């Protein structure tokens, strides 16, 4: 924190990241400052680690924080290193959607949300994956039986074809009715 040492992005890098993420150059600049603040190494190495991300207040307070960080690191980073381009790409998915017109980003956002559950990457959420997330969300406050009931109920709601797993399409059909933006947004840019 507070290091004045900054690695500047080239115009070409800025242009390409903006195109990929839909951030404006100005937003990207602010995100870059945030990125530099989060990196604790001095002088900076230009990447964040799992520990850096877990230090973010919003992540630390989120019951799914550790899972979020695992998804980010495993699916978007390189062996516990997340560079700025990867960081911007991930956090494009956490923006509030009021001005979000880029359908590509909406889809990526949903895919990110889906991948929080689908950790064996078979493009389906099964009962065990759902139970794992439910346990993280409720902590130790609810009995296993109740969690199982909630899991079965949720699968019943989302599983349109009755194969007892939830595909990305089934997930999207339901999740679009809830406010994903609200759930996925973290205040990184305001």
Binding residues for Ca ion, per CB under 5 A? 118, 120, 122, 124, 159, 161, 163
For the bound state, the minimum distance from the C-beta of residue 167 to Ca ion, rounded and expressed in Å, comes to 5
Cα–Cα distance, 129 to 138 (Å, whole number): 15
DSSP codes of every residue in 28-88: HHHHHHHHHHH---SS--SEE-HHHHHTSHHHHHSTTHHHHHHHHHHHHSSSS-EEHHHHH
For the bound state, the minimum distance from the C-beta of residue 173 to Ca ion, rounded and expressed in Å, comes to 11
Choice between 56 and 166, CB closer to Ca ion: 166
For the bound state, the minimum distance from the C-beta of residue 177 to Ca ion, rounded and expressed in Å, comes to 17
For the bound state, the minimum distance from the C-beta of residue 125 to Ca ion, rounded and expressed in Å, comes to 6
* Pairing label, strands 124-125, 166-167: antiparallel
For the bound state, the minimum distance from the C-beta of residue 12 to Ca ion, rounded and expressed in Å, comes to 38
Choice between 53 and 113, CB closer to Ca ion: 113
Choice between 39 and 118, CB closer to Ca ion: 118
Choice between 122 and 173, CB closer to Ca ion: 122
Choice between 100 and 136, CB closer to Ca ion: 136
Q: Are 68 and 54 in contact (CB under 8 A)?
A: no
SS (H, E, C) 2-14: CCCCCCCCCHHHH
């Amino acid at each position: 924190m507070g290091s004045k040492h900054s690695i500047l992005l080239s115009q070409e890098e800025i242009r390409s990241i903006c195109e990929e993420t839909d951030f404006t150059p100005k937003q990207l600049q602010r995100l870059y400052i945030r990125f530099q603040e989060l990196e604790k190494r001095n002088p900076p190495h230009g990447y964040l680690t799992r520990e850096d991300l877990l230090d973010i207040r919003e992540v630390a307070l989120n019951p799914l924080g550790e899972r979020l960080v695992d998804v980010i690191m495993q699916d978007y980073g390189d062996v516990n290193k997340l560079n700025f381009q990867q960081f911007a790409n991930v956090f494009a998915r956490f923006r509030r959607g009021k001005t979000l017109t880029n359908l590509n980003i909406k889809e990526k956002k949903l895919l990110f949300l889906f991948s929080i559950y689908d950790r064996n990457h078979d493009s389906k959420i099964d009962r065990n994956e759902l139970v794992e997330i439910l346990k993280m969300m409720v902590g130790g406050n609810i009995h296993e039986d109740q969690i199982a009931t909630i899991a079965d109920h949720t699968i019943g709601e989302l599983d349109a074809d009755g194969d007892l797993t939830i595909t990305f399409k089934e997930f999207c059909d339901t999740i679009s009715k809830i406010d994903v933006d609200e759930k996925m947004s973290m205040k990184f840019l305001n």
